Amino acid sequence: GKNQSNEKTESGTPMKKITFVLDWTPNTNHTGIYVAQEKGYFEEAGIQIEIVQPPDDGAEALVASGKAQFGVSFQDYLAPALTGENKLPVIAVAALIQHNTSGIVSRKGEGMDTPKGLEGKKYATWDLDVEKAVLKNVVEADGGDFSKVNLIPSTVTDEVSALKTKSVDAIWIYYAWAGIATEVKDLDTDYFAFRDINPVFDYYTPVLIANTEYLEENEEMAKAFLDAVKKGYEDAIADPEGAAEILLKAAPELDRDITVRSQKWLADQYKAEVERWGYIDSTRWNTFYNWLNDNNLVENKIPENTGFTNDYLPE
Amino acid sequence: MAELRVENINKFFQDKQVLENVSLSLHNRELVSLLGASGGGKSTLFNIISGLMCPDSGEVSLDGNTITGETGHVSYMLQKDLLFPFKTIEDNVALPLVIKGMKKREARKVAGPYFQEFGLENTEKKYPHELSGGMKQRAALLRTYLFSSKVALLDEPFSALDTITKSAMHKWYLGIMEKIQLSTLFITHDIDEAIYLSDRIYLLTGNPGHITEEIIITEKKPRGEEFLLSESFIHYKRKIIENLEKKLQ
Amino acid sequence: MAELRVENINKFFQDKQVLENVSLSLHNRELVSLLGASGGGKSTLFNIISGLMCPDSGEVSLDGNTITGETGHVSYMLQKDLLFPFKTIEDNVALPLVIKGMKKREARKVAGPYFQEFGLENTEKKYPHELSGGMKQRAALLRTYLFSSKVALLDEPFSALDTITKSAMHKWYLGIMEKIQLSTLFITHDIDEAIYLSDRIYLLTGNPGHITEEIIITEKKPRGEEFLLSESFIHYKRKIIENLEKKLQ
Amino acid sequence: MKKKLQSITNKIAAPMTIAGILVIWELISCFHVVPTYMLPSPVQVIHAFISDFSLLMFHAKVTLVEAFLGLLCGVLIGFVLAVMMDQFEFIYKAVYPVLVITQTVPTVAIAPLLVLWLGYGIAPKVVLIVIVTFFPVAIGLLEGFRSADRDAVHLLQSMGATRIQIFKHIKIKSSLSQFFASLRIAVSYSVVGAVIAEWLGGFSGLGVYMTRVKKSYAFDKMFAVIFLISAISLVLMYSVDVLRKCCTPWENRRAIRK
Amino acid sequence: MKKKLQSITNKIAAPMTIAGILVIWELISCFHVVPTYMLPSPVQVIHAFISDFSLLMFHAKVTLVEAFLGLLCGVLIGFVLAVMMDQFEFIYKAVYPVLVITQTVPTVAIAPLLVLWLGYGIAPKVVLIVIVTFFPVAIGLLEGFRSADRDAVHLLQSMGATRIQIFKHIKIKSSLSQFFASLRIAVSYSVVGAVIAEWLGGFSGLGVYMTRVKKSYAFDKMFAVIFLISAISLVLMYSVDVLRKCCTPWENRRAIRK
Ligand SMILES: Nc1ncnc2c1ncn2[C@@H]1O[C@H](COP(=O)(O)OP(=O)(O)OP(=O)(O)O)[C@@H](O)[C@H]1O
Ligand SMILES: Nc1ncnc2c1ncn2[C@@H]1O[C@H](COP(=O)(O)OP(=O)(O)OP(=O)(O)O)[C@@H](O)[C@H]1O
Ligand SMILES: O=C([O-])O
Ligand SMILES: [Mg+2]
Ligand SMILES: [Mg+2]
C-alpha cells in the first residue's frame, strides 16, 4: 500500500485501499467482486481494491491479522475461530451464496443417489469432525449405518479424475464448480445435497468476512465496500455470460466451459429467494451452530448470534 | 637370461612425442637406474612397462613373453607414496596380497614379519597421516616388495627420506637384493644414489626422451660406504654430469 | 655485524618437545645450512624465525631488534612449492610486492625482468599446474626473492629439481648471493648441496632437536664445480656423515 | 586452562544463541508487540507441545516410518545409480542430465499427481521421499567414487586388480565421507518430504496433524509441530554424524590431531 | 577419429534418453494404457504450452523477478554469514547450528506464516527464497574459505599480509569453485521457492497459474507449467556454469589438460 495516497478519484478525493482475500483460487463464487472491480464500482466508492489469492488454508488468519480487510470464508470453517483460545477478530458480513450448495457426488447408477447408498462405498474424507458428523447425520436420517461407510483419506485435488479412476466412490463437493465440472467432462453422476436431507445443514457457505477492528473504525467505508460488491453480484445475476467473461479476463487460467456453465448455474443461487443481497438469516445461522454445540463439535460453545452481522449490508 | 626387455618404445601425448625409440633391458637380479631431466618421460616409461599405458609402438617383454599393455606382471611403486588414507599401514602393505586373492587376516600375517626390517615397528595399526614422510615411503616400499614380482619398478622411492635414513635404506636395499631374486628398475634424480646402488645406469635425455648413454658400474656388490668417497665413484659422477650437461646444450 | 640471531629456542607441541635450546646466528651475506633427520624440527624452527609460530621460550632478533613472533621481516619459502593454483605465474611471483602495497600492474612490471634469470621465460601467463615440478620450485624461489628481505629462509628449495637444473640453480644462487645483500638460512637433506653452497652448516639432531655441531666450510666463494670432486669436499662430507650417524646411535 | 575455557565457551555458544532468541521472542509475545494468533509465545508453544504430547508422538511414529522407508529406497536407488554412472561413462552421460531435470521439478507440484497415479496408501508418500532423497545420495556417492585418486587406481591396476577390487578397495572408502555428507542432507529431506506427502491426505502423520491444527487456528500447536519436525531432523542428522564417525575411523584420528 | 565419434555419442546421449522417454510416454498415451486425465500426452502438453504461451510468459516474468530478488538477497546474506563465520570462530560456533536448524523447518509449513507476518506483496516471497537459498551459499562459501591451504595462509602471513589481504588473495579464490557449485543449487531452489511462495497467494506468477489450472482440472496445462519451471531452472543452472567458467580460468585449462 505504498501508493495509497497517490491514487485519487476523478473528483480528487484520496482512494482508500482495501485488500480482499479469496478462499483459494478465483472461481464463480467470487464473480461479483471481479465484476464490481471491472465496472468501476469500487472506484466510484473511493476504493482501490486488491484481490489476492491466499495459501490453501484460507483467508481467516489473514483477515484477522489485518493484512486484508475482507475475505471469503465458510460458516463451518469459521466456527473454531469465533470462541476460545484461538478466537480471531473476524466476522461474517455477507452471504455470497444464500444456501449451502454442497453435497455428495458419485458415479451414476452405483446406488449413492441417497446417503444410505454410501454404505460399503469409499468416501474420501478430510477426517474433520464436523464433516464426519454431518455425513453420519444424513446417512442415519436415510436409515443407513455410518460405520459401514468406508472412509479413505482424501487426497483429492481433482474430483473428476478421482471418480473416473475409481480411486474413490463418493466426494463432498460444491456443485457450482466441481459438480459443473463433472457435467463438462461428461462424467455421469448421482448427487444429493445436504440441505435437502436435513435443513440444519443449510448453513452459510461461502460468506464474506471482515476484520472486526476495521469495521469499527471504518464503518462508512465498509458499507460503501459492501454496496459496491452487491452491485457486482447483482450484475452477475443479471448477465451471467458477461460476468463469466469478466472472471475469465481476471483469471484466464480457468477452464472456459466450466466457468460459463457454473456462472449460469449460480446466477439463481447468489440471492436465491432473498430480496436483500448478502442477508444472513439469524435462525439458519444459529441453527447450525447450535447443532455443532449440541454435538460437541466445538471446543467452546458458540453463543447465539455470534460471528455474523447484517449491519453493514446495503438495504 | 634377460628378465625384462623394452624395445623401441615410442609414445605420444596428443601430438607431442615424449619417448622415442627407447630400448633397454634389465637382467636377473640387476639394479638398473634411469637418470634424466624432469619431464623427460621416465615415469611415462614406467607406466608403459607396468602395463598402465600402451605405447604407440614398441614392445615390453618379460622372460621372453610379451607383456605390452598387460598389468600385474611387475611391482610398481609410483612417484608419490600413495598409501591409502583410509587403510591402516598393515592393510596398506598387505594390499597386493589381498588383490592376489589372499584373505585379509592371512595377508596381515604374511606382512607382519617385515615391519621391523623396514623400520616400521608399531605402525601396523596406524593410519598413513600419522606417519612421517620417510616412514610413509618405507611403507610404500614394503608394499611394493610384498607384491613379489621378480621385477620391481621404483619411481624415486627414496626422494623424501633424510640423508641418514636414505643411506640406511640403501644398504638395506642392497642387502635384500642379495638375498632375493629381485631385479629393480629405478628412477632417481640423485646421481650419488644411482652410482651407489646400480649395476648399470641409463641416461634418458632429450626431447622427445631417448636413451643416450649406458654406464656400467663395475664396483662389486655389496658396496661399502667407502665406495661413496672413492676415486672411481668420483670418476663415474663426473662422467654422468658431463654427459647430462652435454645433452642439455 | 650479525644479521639474524636465534637464542635458546624451546618449542613444545602439546607435551612433546621438538626444539631444545636452539641457538644460531646468520651473518651478513652468509649462506648457512641446517642438516638433520626428518622430523627433527627444522621446519618448526623456520616457522618460529618467520614469526608464524611463537617459541615457548627464547628469542629471535634481526639486526639487534627482537622479532620473536613477528611476521614480515624475513623471506620464507615453505617446504612445498605452494604456488597459488588460481593465479598466473606472474601474479604468483609478484604477490609479495602486492602484499607490500604495490599495484598489480606495477608489481608485474617489477617481476618481469627476473623471469629469464630464473629460467621461467614465457611462463608469465601460465597457471602453476601447467609447469613442471622444477619450474614451479623456481617460480616459488623467484617469489621468495622478490620479497626482498635481507634474510631468506629456504626450506628444501631445490629438492624437486633434477640434477642438472639443480646444479644450474646452485651456481645461479651463489652468483646472486655475490651480487645482492642477501643472507640465507637453508634447509636441505642433500649433504653435497649443503657443503657446496654453505659458509657454515649446523647439524640439528636428537629428540628434542638441538644444534650438535657447527661446521665451517672455508672454501672461498664463488666455488667452481671442481670443488665438488675435491679432496676437501670429501673430507667435509665424511665428517658430516660421521656426525649424523653418531647422533643417531 | 585457556584451552579448556575456550572449549566450554564454544560448546555453549550455540545453546546460548538459541536461548537468546527464545527470550527475545517471549518478550515480544509478552508485551503484545504482535498478537498471539500471529506469533504464539515460546511458553504457549511448550504448553501446546506438552498437552498434545501423546498425540504428537503417535503422528511422529507414522511420519518416521514413512521417512525411513522412503530414505531406505532413496539410498538404495541412489547407490545403484551412482555405481552405474561411475562404472559406465555412457550411462553417466545419458542419465545424469535426466536426474538433474528431475530435481528441478517442484516436489509440491508433482505430489498431487503421485496420489492420482498411486492411490492414497503409503506408496505415493514413499515415492515422494525417494524423489527428494535419491538425488543427493547418488551425486554424493558419484563424486565420492570419482574423488578416488587416479594414481591410486593406477597402482591397483598395476597390481592386476579387477574392476570390482578397485571398487571395493578404493572407491567405496573414498566415497564414504561424501556419502555421509549427502546422507545427512537426505535424512533431513526425508522428514520434510514425509510431512509434505502427508498433506496430500491420510489419517495420521505430522503433516496431517499440521493441517488439522491449522484448520482450528491453533498457531501454538502449529509451532509445536514445526519444532518437533525440526528436532526430529536434527536428531537424525546427529545420528548420521555418529554413524559416520564409526565408519570412518581414519577421519577421526585426523581431526584429533589438528 | 574414434575420440570424435565418442564425443558426439556423449553429447547426444542425454537428448536421446529424454527423447526416448517422451516417445514412450506418447505411446502410452496414444494407446490409452493410462487415461488422458491421469497423464496427458506430450503432444497435448506442448499444445497446452503453445495455447497458453503468452499467459505463461507473463507469469514466468513475475516468478523470475521474485526468484532473482530472493536469490540476490540470499547470496548476499549467505556471503556475509560465511565471511563472519570464517573470520570469527565464536560466530561460527554460535550461528552455524542455528542455521542448520533453520534448514530443518519445512518451508511449506512456514510459508503461510510468512504471509501472515509480511503481507501479500513481494516481501514474504523474497524472504522464503532467501530462507531456501542463503544456506547452501553460506555453507559452500564457508567450506571454500576453509579449503584454502593452511600453508598458503602461512606463507602470506610470513609476508606480513593482513587478514583482509589473506582473504582477498587466497580465501576468495579458493572458494570460487565451491561457491559456484552452491550457486547452482541455490538458483534451482530459488525458482522452486518462488513457485511455492506464489501458492501463498498473490496475483501472478507461475505458482498462481499452477493452482488455478489445477482447480480447472487442466492436467495438460499443469504439466506444461511444470516443464516450464524445470526448463527455467535448467537454463539458469547452465548460466551459472557459464559464469563459473568465466570466473575460474585456471579450472578450465586444467580440464582441457585431462
Ligand atoms: N597423461 C598425460 N597427458 C599428457 N601429457 C602427459 C601425461 N603424462 C605426462 N605427460 C607429459 O609427458 C612428459 C613426461 O612426463 P613424465 O612424468 O614421464 O616425466 P618424468 O621424467 O617422470 O619427470 P619427473 O622427473 O619430473 O617425474 C611431461 O612433459 C608431461 O607433462
Ligand atoms: N602443528 C604441529 N602440531 C603437532 N606436532 C607438529 C606440528 N608441526 C610439526 N609437528 C611435529 O614436530 C616434529 C618436527 O616437525 P618438523 O616439520 O619441524 O620437522 P622437519 O625437521 O622439518 O622434518 P622434514 O625434514 O621431514 O621436513 C615432527 O615430529 C612433527 O610431527
Ligand atoms: O471447496 C470445494 O470446491 O470443494
Ligand atoms: Mg616422474
Ligand atoms: Mg620440514
Mutation test residue for ligand 3: of A29, A72, A97, A177, the one with most atoms within 8 Å of CB: A177
Torsion-angle region of C53 (φ positive above 0: left; ψ -120 to 50: alpha; else: beta): beta
* Host H or E run for residue E242: helix E219-247
Instruction: Considering only the beta carbons, identify the residue of B78, B98, B129 that sits closest to D254.
Output: B129
Among protein residues, the one whose CA lies closest to atom 4 of ligand 3: A173
CB A121 within 8 A of CB A112: yes
Same domain, C58 and C172: yes
φ, ψ at B185 (rounded to 5°): -110, 130
Query: What sections of E53-122 are H helices per DSSP?
Result: 53-87, 89-104, 107-118
The answer to whether the beta carbons of residues A309 and A93 sit under 8 Å apart is: yes
Residue (of B171, E147, E226, D100) closest to C84 by Cα position: E147
Residues of C in contact with B191 (CB under 8 A): 163
Task: Answer whether C17's CB lies under 8 Å from C31's CB.
Answer: no
pLDDT for the residue B150: 84
Q: What is the pLDDT of residues B3-25, one digit of tens each?
A: 899 999 999 988 889 999 999 99
Residues B232 and B115 in one domain: no
Cα angle, residue E204 at apex, residues E199 and E205 outer, rounded to 5°? 65
E36, E115, E125: best mutation site toward chain A, by most A Cβ within 10 Å?
Answer: E115
Q: Report the C-alpha gap between A296 and E235 in whole angstroms.
A: 56
Q: Is E31 helix (H, G, I), strand (E, B) or coil?
A: coil
Q: Where are the alpha helices (DSSP H) in B180-230?
A: 191-197
Range of D121's domain? 51-257
Ligand nearest to the CA of C188: 2
The CA distance from D151 to A152, in Å, is 59
pLDDT band at D255 (very low <50, low <70, confident <90, very high): very low
Residue B13 near ligand 1, beta carbon < 6 Å: yes
B206: how many CB neighbours lie within 10 A of its CB? 16
pLDDT at position D1 is 47
Q: Are residues B66 and B157 in the same domain?
A: yes
Domain boundary among C143, C163, C190: C143
Neighbours of ion ligand 4 (CB under 5 A): B 43, 79
**Bridge partners for A14 per DSSP:** A8
| Residue D17, in any domain of the structure | no
* CB distance C72 to ligand 2 below 6 Å: no
Contact E81, E134 (CB under 8 A): yes
pLDDT at A111: 92
Residue B224 pLDDT greater than 90, yes or no: no
Residue of E149, E158, E175, E252 to mutate for C, most C C-beta atoms under 10 A: E158
Amino acid code (one letter) for D95: V
Judgement on whether residues C66 and C172 belong to the same structural domain of the protein: yes
* Among the listed residues E3, E98, E57, E33, the one whose alpha carbon sits nearest the alpha carbon of residue E224: E57
Please name which of C208, C186, C187 lies closest in space to residue C10, comparing C-alpha atoms: C208
Q: Decide if D152 and B84 are in contact by the 8 Å CB cutoff.
A: yes
D115: nearest Cα among A162, E108, A24: A162
Q: Is residue E76 part of a domain?
A: yes
Beta-carbon separation of A62 and E116 below 8 A: yes
Tell me the mean pLDDT in the region D34-62. Answer: 90
Nearest CA residue ID for atom 14, ligand 1: B41
Residue B19 near ligand 1, beta carbon < 6 Å: no
Q: Would you state the pLDDT for residue D258?
A: 32
Residues B85 and B204 occupy one common structural domain? no
Domain that holds residue C221: 4-74+148-248
Q: What is the 3-state secondary structure (H, E, C) of D175-238?
A: HHHHHHHHHHHHHHHHHHHHHHHHHCCCCCCHHHHHHHHHHCCCHHHHHHHHHHHHHHHHHHHH
**pLDDT, position A236:** 97
Single out the residue in B94, B120, B143 at which a domain terminates.
B143
Average pLDDT, chain E: 87
Whose grid coordinates read 622478490?
A: C146
Amino acid in position E193: G
Residues of B in contact with C248 (CB under 8 A): 164
| Ligand 3, atom 1: closest residue by C-alpha | A174
Q: B66 and B168, same structural domain?
A: yes
Query: What ipTM was predicted for this assembly?
Result: 0.79
Q: Which atom of ligand 2 is nearest to the CA of B160?
A: 26
| Disruptive mutation site among B54, B84, B89, B123 for chain D (greatest number of D CBs within 10 Å) | B84
Cα–Cα distance, D63 to D125 (Å, whole number)? 10
Query: How far, in Å, from the CA of B27 to the mean position of ligand 1?
Result: 26
B61 and B157 co-located in one domain: yes
**Torsion over CA: A207, A208, A212, A215 (sign):** negative
Show residues of chain D in contact with B80, CB under 8 Å.
151
Residue B147: all three cell numbers together: 607384491
Ligand 3 atom closest to the CA of A178, numbered from 1: 3
Per the structure, the count of domains in chain C is 2
Q: How far apart are the first and last CA of chain D?
A: 18
User: What value does the mean pLDDT take over residues C145-166?
Assistant: 81
Residue C204: which H helix or E strand, with range?
strand C200-205
**Ligand 1 center to B37 CA (angstroms):** 11
Cα-based distances in Å from C155 to A1, B119, C34, E148: 68, 26, 9, 21
Residue D19 forms part of a structural domain: no
Chain centre distance of CA B171: 15
Assign residue E135 the CATH number of its domain: 1.10.3720.10
Spatial distance between the Cα atoms of B201 and B199, rounded to a whole number of angstroms: 7
Q: Over the Cα atoms of chain C, what is R_g?
A: 18
Percent of chain C with pLDDT over 70: 95
Percent residues over pLDDT 70 in chain D = 94
Neighbours of A12 (CB within 10 A): 6
Model confidence pLDDT, tens digit, residues D109-156: 888 788 778 877 888 899 999 999 999 999 999 989 988 888 888 889
In a domain, E85, yes or no: yes
What is the per-residue pLDDT for C247? 63
Q: What is the pLDDT along chain A (315 residues), one digit of tens a residue?
A: 333 444 444 556 678 999 999 988 889 999 999 999 999 999 999 999 999 888 776 788 889 888 899 999 999 989 988 987 778 899 999 999 999 999 999 999 999 999 999 999 999 888 788 999 999 999 999 999 999 999 887 766 678 888 887 878 999 999 999 999 999 988 999 999 999 999 999 999 999 999 999 999 999 999 999 999 999 999 999 999 999 999 999 988 888 999 999 999 999 999 999 999 999 999 999 999 999 999 999 888 999 999 999 999 998
Residue E21 and residue D98: Cβ atoms within 8 Å? yes
C40 CA to middle of ligand 2, Å?
A: 7
Q: How far is CA C19 from the centre of its chain?
A: 19
Q: Would you call E129 helix, strand, or coil by DSSP?
A: helix
Q: What is the pLDDT of residues B37-93, one digit of tens each?
A: 877 899 999 999 999 899 999 999 999 999 999 988 999 988 667 888 889 999 999
Mutational pocket test of ligand 3: of A22, A77, A96, A174, the residue with most ligand atoms within 8 Å of the beta carbon? A174
Residue D46 lies in a domain: no
Ligand 4 centroid, distance to C145 Cα (angstroms): 27
Cβ <8 Å between E248 and C82: no
E36 is written with which cell numbers?
A: 488422458
Same domain flag for B244 and B175: yes
Residue E94's identity, in one-letter code, is A
pLDDT at E6: 66
SS3 C91: helix
Name every chain B residue with its beta carbon within 8 A of the beta carbon of C229. 234, 237-238
Under the banding of pLDDT at 50, 70 and 90, the label for residue D257 is very low
Computed over every residue of chain D, the mean pLDDT equals 87
Per-residue pLDDT tens over the stretch B150-204: 899 998 888 767 777 777 778 877 777 777 778 899 999 888 899 999 999 999 9
Cell, residue A228? 459496491
Structure confidence at residue E253 (pLDDT): 56
Question: How many C-beta neighbours within 10 Å does residue C194 have?
Answer: 27
Kindly report the CATH number assigned to the domain that includes residue C234: 3.40.50.300
As a whole number of angstroms, the distance between CA A66 and CA A211 comes to 7
Assess whether B68 and B175 both reside in one domain. Answer: yes
* AA identity, residue E133: T
Instruction: Say which residues have a Cβ less than 8 Å from residue D225's Cβ, sequence separation at least 6.
Output: D56, D206, D209, D210, D213
- Same-domain check for residues B158 and B240: yes
Burial A120-140 (b: 16+ CB within 10 A, else e): ebbbbbbbbebbbbbbbbbbe
C210 plus C98 within the same structural domain? no
Cβ contact, residue pair A155, D216, below 8 Å: no
Three-state DSSP at A186 gives coil
**What backbone phi and psi angles, to 5 degrees, belong to A269?**
-100, -25
Task: Compute how many other C-beta atoms are within 10 angstroms of the C-beta atom of residue C22.
Answer: 25
Boundary (domain end) residue, out of C126, C143, C160: C143
| pLDDT tens per residue across span D171-203 | 998 899 889 999 998 998 999 999 988 877 677
C171 and C62 both lie in a single domain: yes
**Average pLDDT of span D14-22:** 89
Q: Is the pLDDT of residue D248 over 90?
A: no
> Does the pLDDT of residue E146 top 80, yes or no?
yes
Among D residues 109-148, those touching chain E with beta carbons less than 8 Å apart: 109-110, 112-113, 116-117
Cβ atoms within 10 Å of B99's Cβ, excluding its own: 19
The count of structural domains within chain D is 1
What is the average per-residue pLDDT within E183-191?
Answer: 92
pLDDT of residue B33: 96
**How far, in Å, CA of A264 to CA of A262, rounded?**
5
Q: Is C241 on the interface with E (CB under 8 A)?
A: no
Residue type at E246? C
Whether pLDDT at B220 is above 50: yes
Q: Using alpha carbons only, what angle is made at residue E41 by residues E37 and E47, rounded to the nearest 5 degrees?
A: 105
Angle between helices E53-87 and E123-147 (to 10 degrees): 40
Q: Minimal Cα distance from E177: which residue of C?
A: C86
Angle, helices E53-87 vs E206-215, to 10°: value is 130
Asked if the Cβ–Cβ distance from A85 to D218 is below 8 Å, we say yes
